[in-house]
Amino acid sequence: MSDRTESRPVESLNEEEARAELARLAGQIAEADLAYHQQDAPIMSDAAYDALRRRNTAIEERFPALKREDSPNEAPPGAPPAAGFSKSRHGTPMLSLDNVFGPEEFAEFAARIRRFLGLSAEEVLRFVGEPKIDGLSVNLLYEDGRFVRGATRGDGMVGEDITRNLETLDELPRQLPAPHPARIEIRGEVFMTKPDFLAFHAEQTRLHEEREARRAAGEPVGPAIRIPVNPRNAAAGSLRQLDPAVTASRPLRLFAYAQGESSEPVAETHSEYLKRLEGWGFRVNPLSRLLPDEHAAGAFQAELAEKRAGLAYDIDGVVYKLDRLDWQSRLGFVGRAPRWAIAWKFPAEQATTTLLDIQIQVGRTGALTPRAVMQPVNVGGVMVQHATLHNEDEIARKDVRIGDTVILQRAGDVIPQITGIVPEKRPADSRPFVFPDTCPACGSHAVRPPGEVIKRCTGGLICPAQQVERLIHFASRNAMDIEGLGIENIELLHREGLVNTPAGIFRLKGHTERMRGWEGWGGRSGKDSRKITNLLAAIEARREPSLERFLFGLGIRRIGAQNARLLARHYGTVEHWRQAMLDARILGSEAREDLGGIQGIGPAIAQELVEFFSEPRNLEALDDLLREVHPQPAETVAEGALSGKSIVFTGSLETMTRQEAEARAESLGAKVVKSVSKKTDLVVIGADAGSKAKKAAELGLRTLTEAEWRELAGMG
Ligand code: IVH
């Protein structure tokens, strides 16, 4: 694979390889376009996208005959409108911009303009430089001065009609003061500022976590919460809401910068046009500037690069537009971009700093996540001090060590990434990072199941990082089902320090005075006073839960409702279960074999139970809880012949499936187990039975043939 065409220089490709490369690039670019424009979910960085396009263009230039009909350079930018909005055709196409990355490329761009227009070297080329904001471009149609329609870019020809949503923007003029053309399209960028984005991001993250908690507790959840990755993504998602009220609640801004169709000319130069926009009440970026000649672009670029960090919004470059509109129209467009404008992009925002520490954070579900703590550094206008290191393997793969100089990158995204280290700066005494085996929040041991990347804390019931999550689960509908004890109230009770553990819920009645002091909980009469009484009554009503609800409520990993039922049926009483779990901590013990042998449990789940019981403080919390609640023995079929008996099926049955036989046994109150031990009451022996039959005989257990079993089970 060393000579994969995708990494080879364009000059070295032969015709066949070039054709294959163009096909690959067309596919990748189309996919990226769709993700970016229609799904608001970019799948690659801007830099990677630009690299693909440049490579595509370079190959096309070398092999013009191979240019595809669906070449990304011919295809309109963007993607077709998504379902849900009606379509809106633009008066003139909304195009995109070509990029340059340095002064030579910019000079080439200016030289192309001179050649095209046949201008001498003496002729001055004036450009307007404008910050390139990474938002969402919109087309705004005004008729007789009134805003009548607004659309996204869509595929460049047809966009989505988002008029109602745009009307919620404060910065959008509804009526243009006269004079104005009878009909005019004005274009601009809708965006979110960095502070607004950060607040919105935090809020969405909180809503997402709440939803996850609800889901984990088996409660109904609403639609998925989208966490935006960058301001552009947030602006796009906000504008494309089917409900304008949602858009209205989002802090969106608008800068106007271009014109589309117009029933009459409104200016002779772009700079003059920008003034007209301001006169009509649009916001034009105050940093936009008419430059005296093309050579001033470099200094303007440097000036904005310098300002970039301090701006309230993200910019990823500068757009240079030829000022004279008559020249603009002579130059026209090529493929998807105008010949008279270019985007000069900034390099990705990077910085280096020292890694001071690697902290381990404990998530609400017990996941241990490493977080880099760095000497604070400015990366593209955001002071950065933390970055995620994802997991244990990631740290090992990058060999990131405390004391290293790390390279941080922020590519328009909120959370910066550590992209690598500077090996020459590594201190001589540095050591590879050792991921801890204990939970930093509670000291319980942390385990990483085989095949998983996440290490988890086992101190479920006592770990402060997990308490809220555990309490929510414990009280939830499929567990203890305590009415009135939903997420909000649990968070409140926990925040106020009244409830830390499940047992604490049952001691809440000692705190009524405190609760009465809270807003909405207080009054001595009416709804408020009933709130506390009702809650306490709901709690009292759950002091004798079924064993299976109780076991499920403990929130032991992998013990969902189904497995809790199996355990309840198998062990019958909580005392029995508790003792068996303690005994099962010893590998190879009878209790361990018995546990792993329960139909549907198996060794991995047995291991989770053992981990839980190996943490002494979990046991303390369990016993504490058992002083408050008394789980009822598991439901068994009333006084059936097999009530409470444990039964093993071995060999193949001829008149019924194994599944049917086991279901029947369970419905009669028996516990079906897989392995034979001296505690087994019955062993049903089918054809070709092997070691289990032998063991049953050795232990002198009661055995049944299939026919005898049918008889006993009332199956005739
Ligand atoms: S002019 C024909 N001016 O950049 C010219 N675009 O990569 C069309 N953008 O689709 C665009 N700031 O979303 C123009 N001052 C600015 C801009 C700007 C941001 C965005 C816009 C456009 C994209 C092109």
- DSSP labels for 603-671? HHHHHHHHHHHHSHHHHHHHHHHHTT--PBPPP--TT-TTTT-EEEEESB-SSS-HHHHHHHHHHTT-E
Task: Kindly compute the dihedral angle of the four CA atoms of residues 234, 237, 241, 245, in this order, to the nearest 10 degrees.
Answer: 0
| Least confident interval from 410-419, 426-435, 557-566 | 410-419
Mean pLDDT computed over 358-363: 90
Atom of ligand 1 nearest to the CA of 135: 13
Residues of each domain in the chain carrying CATH 2.40.50.140:
349-432
Per-position DSSP letters for 11-47, written without gaps between them:
GG--HHHHHHHHHHHHHHHHHHHIIIIISS--SS-HH
CB 459 within 8 A of CB 444: yes
Q: Which of 319, 323, 345, 346 to mutate to test the pocket of ligand 1 (most atoms within 8 A of CB)?
A: 319
Q: What integer pLDDT is reported at residue 1 of this predicted model? A: 34
Q: Is the pLDDT of residue 77 over 60?
A: no
- What is the architecture of the domain spanning 349-432? Beta Barrel (2.40)
Residues of each domain in the chain carrying CATH 3.30.470.30:
114-345
Best CA proximity match to 289, nearest among 276, 278, 277, 304: 304
Q: What integer pLDDT is reported at residue 384 of this predicted model? A: 82
List the CATH code of the domain at 10-66. 1.10.287.610
What is the fold of 114-345?
Answer: D-amino Acid Aminotransferase; Chain A, domain 1 (3.30.470)
The Å distance, Cα 660 to ligand 1 centre, comes to 68
Mean pLDDT computed over 430-446: 93
Q: What integer pLDDT is reported at residue 527 of this predicted model? A: 66
CB 672 within 8 A of CB 662: yes
210 exposed, middle or buried (CB, 10 Å; 0-12, 13-18, 19+)? middle
What is the fold of 547-627?
Answer: DNA polymerase; domain 1 (1.10.150)
pLDDT band at 708 (very low <50, low <70, confident <90, very high): confident
Q: What integer pLDDT is reported at residue 114 of this predicted model? A: 95
Q: Is the pLDDT of residue 314 over 60?
A: yes
Report pLDDT digits (tens) over 114-131.
Answer: 999 999 989 999 999 999
Residues of each domain in the chain carrying CATH 1.10.150.20:
463-541, 547-627
pLDDT band at 38 (very low <50, low <70, confident <90, very high): low
Q: What is the mean pLDDT of the chain?
A: 88
The CA distance from 478 to 220, in Å, is: 11
Is pTM beyond 0.75 here?
Answer: no
Report pLDDT digits (tens) over 535-562.
Answer: 999 999 999 999 999 999 998 988 988 7
| Least confident interval from 59-73, 276-290, 599-613 | 59-73
| φ, ψ at 139 (rounded to 5°) | -115, 125
* HSE toward the beta carbon, residue 405, CA cutoff 13 A: 10
| Least confident interval from 54-58, 431-435, 493-497, 695-699 | 54-58
Q: What integer pLDDT is reported at residue 412 of this predicted model? A: 60
Atom of ligand 1 nearest to the CA of 134: 19
The CA distance from 239 to 191, in Å, is: 10
pLDDT band at 81 (very low <50, low <70, confident <90, very high): low
The CA distance from 474 to 468, in Å, is: 10
Tell me which residues have their CB closer than 6 angstroms to ligand 1: 95-97, 130, 132-133, 137, 189, 257-258, 319, 338, 341, 343
The Å distance, Cα 337 to ligand 1 centre, comes to 10
Q: What integer pLDDT is reported at residue 31 of this predicted model? A: 80
Mean pLDDT computed over 472-481: 92
pLDDT band at 75 (very low <50, low <70, confident <90, very high): low
Could you identify the residue written with the tokens 């047809």? Answer: 158
One-letter amino acid at 401 equals R
The Å distance, Cα 136 to ligand 1 centre, comes to 9
Q: What integer pLDDT is reported at residue 167 of this predicted model? A: 96
Q: What integer pLDDT is reported at residue 639 of this predicted model? A: 39
Please check if 4 is assigned to a binding site. no
Q: What integer pLDDT is reported at residue 715 of this predicted model? A: 64
Share of the chain above pLDDT 90, in %: 54
Share of the chain above pLDDT 70, in %: 93
Domain 646-713 has CATH 3.40.50.10190: yes
Structure tokens at 516: 């009465």
| Least confident interval from 215-229, 350-364, 418-432, 573-587 | 215-229
Best CA proximity match to 473, nearest among 561, 600, 533, 577: 561
pLDDT band at 40 (very low <50, low <70, confident <90, very high): low
Residue nearest to atom 22 of ligand 1 (CA): 96
Q: What integer pLDDT is reported at residue 636 of this predicted model? A: 46
Mean pLDDT computed over 259-269: 96
Q: Which of 90, 92, 137 to mutate to test the pocket of ligand 1 (most atoms within 8 A of CB)?
A: 137
The Å distance, Cα 96 to ligand 1 centre, comes to 7
Segment of 69-78, 500-509, 660-669 carrying the highest mean pLDDT: 500-509
Mean pLDDT computed over 496-521: 91
Q: Which residues are catalytic?
A: 132
CB 302 within 8 A of CB 349: no
Q: Is the pLDDT of residue 661 over 70?
A: yes
Please check if 153 is assigned to a binding site. yes
Q: What integer pLDDT is reported at residue 317 of this predicted model? A: 94
For the segment(s) 463-541, the CATH number from 3.40.50.10490, 3.40.1180.10, 1.10.150.20, 3.90.650.10 is: 1.10.150.20
Q: What is the DSSP letter of 348?
A: P
| Least confident interval from 498-512, 519-533, 671-685 | 519-533
| φ, ψ at 109 (rounded to 5°) | -60, -45
| Least confident interval from 209-223, 229-243, 309-323, 579-593 | 209-223
